Amino acid sequence: IYTSKNCGPCHVLKPQIKRVVEELKGQVQAVEIDIEADQEIAENAGVSGTPTTQLFLLKELKKEWKGVKQRSEIKEAITKVISP
């Protein structure tokens, strides 16, 4: 998840992502990237706004969300990607 300290919606999204990660019990992990502190990473990923969430499997981008999405939508997308 790409965030910044001045991003109000990020403060809503981060707990939702954390809860999904906890519910999936070790099947997934989340990494938070501050686009102000790590500008190069954000630029390389094509991320210019926050919050932006990217879902990867084996280094391949599977889905990207811009803005806050429902926890159920995020969990459903992750489950589809990680299910055989």
Q: Which residues are catalytic?
A: 7, 10
Pairwise CA distance, residues 73 & 84, whole Å: 19
Nearest C-alpha neighbor of 3 from the set 47, 40, 44: 47
Pairwise CA distance, residues 33 & 73, whole Å: 21
The distance in angstroms from the start CA to the end CA of the chain is 24
| Strand, coil or helix: 29 | coil
